[in-house]
Structure 1
Amino acid sequence: MKNKFLGLGLLSLLSFSALAQQEKNAGNAYPAIGSKVQVYTTADNSKLRLSQTGELTFSESKQPLETEFSVFVEPKKTFQTILGIGGAITDASAEVFAKLSPVKQKEFLNAYFGSTGIGYSIIRTNIHSCDFSSGSYTYVKEGDKSLKSFNIDHDKKFRIPLIKQAMKTAGNNNVTFYVSPWSPPAFMKDNNNMLKGGKLLPEYYQTWADYYVKFIKAYEKEGMPVWGLSVQNEPMATQIWESCIFTAEDERDFLKNYLGPTIKKDLGDKKIIVWDHNRDLMNQRANVIFGDPEASKYAWGMGFHWYETWAGGKPMFQNVQKVNEAYPDKKLMFTEGCVEKFDATRFQYWPNGERYGEQMINDFNNGTVGWTDWNILLDEKGGPNHVGNFCFAPVHMDTKTGEIIYTPSYYYIGHFSKFVRPEAKRVSTVVSRSQLMSTSFLNADGKMVTVVMNSSDKKIAYNLIIGNRKTVAEIPAHAIQTLIY
C-alpha cells in the first residue's frame, strides 16, 4: 500500500508508458476512478476565453448509447510526435509591434510566447520582402551575382529585435525557427521582377542557393538559431506581390542539384520543407519530389497552406492524409493560414475562430507535426501590406488608441498551443456524432490533452470515454474546450 501511494505522488514525473505499466500492475485501468479532469472553455456569446470552467471526475463507464454524444480516446494508440505550434513574424508584424507602448509590447510578447499566454513554440519569417512588408527589398544590390553586397541591415530595425524578444520570452531553446523566400531578386528571374510570378533563371540556380546560406548564417550570427527552411513560398501562384513559379520538376531539380547539396555542405543538418502551398496539389508535388530518391534525401517533409478554397469547394483535408499514407517517413507541417479579405467590422467574427479549430483538428488528425499561423500581429487596417493584400491576424493593434485587439482566432489557436507542447504524441480519438470534432495528445510530462469543438447552435453534453472510464462534460454552442487529465 505504501508503494502505491508513493507511485501516486510521482505521477507528474512519469511518462504515460510508465504510468500505464504501473496501473496495469496494480490491476487498475487508466485513468483511475476519481482522477480529475481540468476543463478550459472558449465560447461565443459569453465572456469565456480560455477560461477554466470546471473540474470533472472519472467514473466507471458502461456501453454508451447511440443517443449519447461520445468522444472515445485510446491512449495505447499513438501517432506523430508534435514539433510545435506558432506563427510568422513578418516585417508587418514587427513594424506594428514597434508602435506599441513598452507596457503593451510586454503584454503582447507574454500573450503569444509566455507561460501565462498561449505558449507559441514555432516562428516562421520571410527571406527579404513579402507582401506583408512595407515595400519590396532584397539583401544585395541589384545585379550582384557575386552576392558581395549581401547584408541584413534592413531587418535590424524592426524584425530581428522582435524575433529575439519572442525567442527570449519563450525560452531560447524552446522555439523552432524556420525561414521562407517569396521571390529571388529581380535580376535572377526571367520576368526581371520580384512581383507577378516569373521563374528563376537557370544561370542563377547556384547563386540563389548560396543566398539562402548567407541569410541563415547572418541570422544565426545575430543569435537566432535557424531550424530549417522551405524552398519557395507558394510556388504555383503568380501573385501581385513577391512570387516565383517552380513546377514540381523545377523544385525537385533545384533541391536535388543545388539547394540540398549547398545547405548540406555549408550548414549541415537544416530541415528543408518542400511545396509550402495549398493542399490541392500537394500529392502531385509529393509524388514528384519524394519519388526521386536523390531529391527526397534532402527533404525533411512537406509544408502546406489552407487557401485551396479560393476556387470554391471545401478544405482538402484528405490530401494531407494521403501524403501521410504514401510517404510516412516524411513530416507534414502546416506553414501558413490566415483569414483573408480584412473587414474592420469583423474583429470578433466567431466563424474566423472556428475556421482555425476545424483546420487544426483535421490537420493534426491527418498526421501534421507542426502548425504555423501567418502574421502574429497586424494593424487596425489589416496591414501594413505594400500591395493592399490586407488580412486578419489573431491579434491586431489599433494604432490610433494603442490598444491590442484579441480576436476569436487567438483563443482557438490557444486551446492547442497552450496545452499541446513540443514532443507530445497524438493519440487515437474519435467522436460519435458529427456535431463535435476532437483530437488528443499525450504530453511528455504524462498529461493527456483532449480538444473538443462544437460548431453547432446548441450546447451538447458528451461522454469522454477512455477504456472503461468516463466523465461527462458539457460544451456550449459555438465553443471549443481543452480537457487535461
Structure 2
Amino acid sequence: MTLGSVIAMAAGLQAGAATADQAGSTVSVYMSSANLDSTLARGPELAFGGSVASVGERIDVDASVAGQKLTAGFGVAMTESSAYLLRNQLPASVREDVIRALFSPTEGIGLSFLRIPIGASDYVVGDLATPDDQPPGGADPELRDFSIERDLRDTVPAVREALAANPAMTVMANPWTPPAWMKTDDSLVTTTGPFGHLKPEYYDAFARYLVKFVQAYRDQGIDIDYLGVQNEPMTPLALVVGIPESFLDPIQEGILVRDHLSPALAAAGLSTGVLAYDDGFVRSEVYVPAVMSIARAQTAGIAYHCYLTDPASIDIQRRAYPEMTQLVTECSSKLSNVEPQQMMIRSLRAGANGIQLWNAVLDQHNGPKMGNGCRGIIGDFAGQDCIAPVTVNTDTHDYTFTSDYWALAHFSKFIHSGATQIASTSPSACPTTPVSGSRCGLEAVAFENPDHGRVLVVTAHDGAGHTFTLAESGRRATYTLPAGATATLVWQPVS
C-alpha cells in the first residue's frame, strides 16, 4: 500500500468517525495487529449506549477527573543518521512522502515533538564531531571556532522540512558530550567512567556553547523550545564505551544550570526552557532531587529515557515538582524491555506531557551508527538492534514503515496538542522492570481532545485476545482486541 493510500484512508476514516459520532451513539475503532497485517485499520462501529451489556474486562472513563495536558505531543529525533538517509538516500519526492507521513497532521500521523543532538551522538555518519573541536591539547574558551557547518549539510534542512510539515512542532536539543577540550579526558568517547567529565573551569564556556547552538539554529529559522545539558549523565557509571558520552553528577548539573546556563540564556534574550536529568526513569529518583535543590527555579522540565526502568517515576517527580514539564525524550524498541505502545500508555498515565522515540529514520541495517549502545540486553529483545519508525533501504532507495511508526500513529494521529488525560481504569498493571519484560494484559489510557472528543488507546501483550467493555456516563461499548494488537477508540460525548 502506498503512502498516499494509507494516509488518505486514515484521514478519511477519522473525518468520517467525527461525523458519525456526533450523536455519541457509536465508537470508531482503529486497530493494528501484532504482525502488522492490519495497520490503523478501521473496524465496524461499536454501538455505545445504556442497553449494551457489560462483557469481559472493564475500562471506565471519567472526563470529570482531569490529569495533565499534552503540551509537546509525540515525536522522534532527527539524528545525523536520520537526516543523512532522508537527504541522500531517497529521491526528493520520496523524501517528501516520508516527511509528510511522519509530521503532517493531515497527511501523516502528525508527530509534534522533535529532538536534535548537539554535536555527535552514536548515530552519526563519518567521524565524530562537535560544533567546536580543537586539536588534542588545544582549547577555545572564547568559542571563536564555533560553527554548525556540519549540521547545515543534512540536519538543518531535514529539520526545516519537518517544521514545514508541522509548524506547531516542539523542538528540543541536547549534547551527548561537551567538546573534548572541555573535558578531563580530552575525548568525545569517554572510556574512564565518571572520570571523564566537564571541567569546572569550562562551565561558563560550555553554557555559552549551548547558547550559541540555540542562536545558530534560530538564525536558520529553527526555534529550540527546550535545552538539555547532558544526555544520559549517569551512563558512564556503567562503563559503556564506544559512543560519545560524558559524566555529570547532579550537584554539578544544578550548579551548571543555575550559575552558568540560566544566566547565559537570559543574557542572550532567549526563553528556551532548561531540561534536567535526561536519563532512565528510576535513577531520576536519586538524581533529580539533588538538581532541584540547587536549580529548581532555573529548570523548566525533567527529561527521561525509558530503558529497563519503570515510568511510575514520572508520577513521583510530578508530585514533588508539579510546576515541571515531564517529557520522555528517548525510547527505542528492543533496548526498551517493553513495546513502545506499552511505554507510552504507562508514561502518559504517570503524567508525561510529551513522548519521543529515538531515531526518526534508520537504514536496513538499523544504522548508520557507532558502537553497540542501542541493542537489547535481556529478555525477548536481547541482542536485537533498535529500530526506527521508518526504514530506508539504501539499495533500492525506498522506505517501509515499522511497528514503531504504527505504535506512534495510534497516539499521535488521534490525541491532539492540548488534549487532557482523563481518568480511566486500566485492567492490567504490570511492573516495568528489567526482568518483567513486555508480557502484560490489557493496558489503556484515555484523553479528551480540545474539541471534547474522547480517545482511548488499548494494547495487550500476554499472548491472548481480550474482550472488554468501555463505559462512560452510563453508556457501554464492547470490543475484542486480538492478541498483541493495539487499538484506538474514538467517540464523542453526549451533547
Q: Report SS of the residue matched to 1:151.
A: coil
1:166-315 correspondence to structure 2 within 5 Å: 166-170=162-166, 172=167, 174-196=168-190, 198-238=196-236, 239=240, 240-292=242-294, 295-307=295-307, 309=308, 315=309
Structure 2: how far apart are the matches of 1:248 and 1:117? 39
- The letter of the residue matching 1:232 is Q
Residue 365 of structure 1, CA deviation: 0.1
Structure 1: how far apart are the matches of 2:222 and 2:41? 34
Structure 1: how far apart are the matches of 2:220 and 2:370? 27
Q: Between the two proteins, what is the percent identity of the paired residues?
A: 27
The reply to whether residue 39 of structure 1 matches residue 29 of structure 2 is: yes
Structure 2: how far apart are the matches of 1:45 and 1:373? 20
Which one of 53, 57, 75 corresponds to residue 69 of structure 1?
57
Structure 1: how far apart are the matches of 2:107 and 2:200? 49
Match of 2:438 in 1: none
Instruction: State how many pairs are aligned.
Output: 434
Residue 36 of structure 1, CA deviation: 2.4
- The letter of the residue matching 1:272 is V
Match of 2:15 in 1: none
- The letter of the residue matching 2:489 is L
The reply to whether residue 138 of structure 1 matches residue 130 of structure 2 is: yes
Q: Report SS of the residue matched to 1:316.
A: coil
Residue 432 of structure 1, CA deviation: 3.7
The reply to whether residue 55 of structure 1 matches residue 45 of structure 2 is: yes
Structure 1: how far apart are the matches of 2:36 and 2:363? 26
Residue 34 of structure 1, CA deviation: 5.2
The reply to whether residue 363 of structure 1 matches residue 347 of structure 2 is: yes
- The letter of the residue matching 2:327 is M
Give CA deviations for 1:247-306 in whole Å, capped at 9, x if unaligned.
1111111111111221122133211110000012101122112233xx101111110001
Structure 1: how far apart are the matches of 2:394 and 2:428? 44
Q: Report SS of the residue matched to 1:119.
A: coil
Match of 1:474 in 2: 480
Residue 433 of structure 1, CA deviation: 5.2
Match of 1:398 in 2: 393
Structure 2: how far apart are the matches of 1:322 and 1:63? 38
- The letter of the residue matching 2:262 is G
Structure 2: how far apart are the matches of 1:456 and 1:283? 29
Q: Which runs of 5+ in 1 are unaligned?
A: 1-30, 310-314, 342-350
Structure 2 CA distance for partners of 1:288 and 1:458, relative to 1, 3 Å: same
Q: Decide whether the 8 Å contact of 2:53 with 2:476 is kept in 1.
A: no
Match of 1:162 in 2: 158
Q: Decide whether the 8 Å contact of 1:32 with 1:58 is kept in 2.
A: no
For normalisation by structure 2, the TM-score amounts to: 0.84
Structure 1: how far apart are the matches of 2:175 and 2:427? 43
Structure 2: how far apart are the matches of 1:219 and 1:252? 25
Structure 1: how far apart are the matches of 2:24 and 2:313? 41
Give CA deviations for 1:437-484 in whole Å, capped at 9, x if unaligned.
000111112211111112233322211100211111221111111111
For normalisation by structure 1, the TM-score amounts to: 0.85
Q: Decide whether the 8 Å contact of 1:356 with 1:409 is kept in 2.
A: yes
Structure 2: how far apart are the matches of 1:220 and 1:108? 25
Match of 1:422 in 2: 417
Residue 403 of structure 1, CA deviation: 2.3
Structure 2 CA distance for partners of 1:45 and 1:378, relative to 1, 3 Å: closer
- The letter of the residue matching 2:117 is N
Structure 1: how far apart are the matches of 2:23 and 2:323? 38
Q: Decide whether the 8 Å contact of 1:333 with 1:371 is kept in 2.
A: yes
* Superposition CA RMSD, Å: 2.1
Residue 139 of structure 1, CA deviation: 1.6
Q: Decide whether the 8 Å contact of 2:333 with 2:404 is kept in 1.
A: no
Which one of 83, 90, 99 corresponds to residue 79 of structure 2?
90
Structure 1: how far apart are the matches of 2:211 and 2:259? 15
Structure 2 CA distance for partners of 1:62 and 1:243, relative to 1, 3 Å: same
Match of 2:69 in 1: 81
Q: Which runs of 5+ in 2 are unaligned?
A: 1-20, 374-384, 430-440
Q: Report SS of the residue matched to 2:60.
A: strand
Match of 1:102 in 2: 92
Structure 1: how far apart are the matches of 2:449 and 2:299? 27
- The letter of the residue matching 2:64 is K
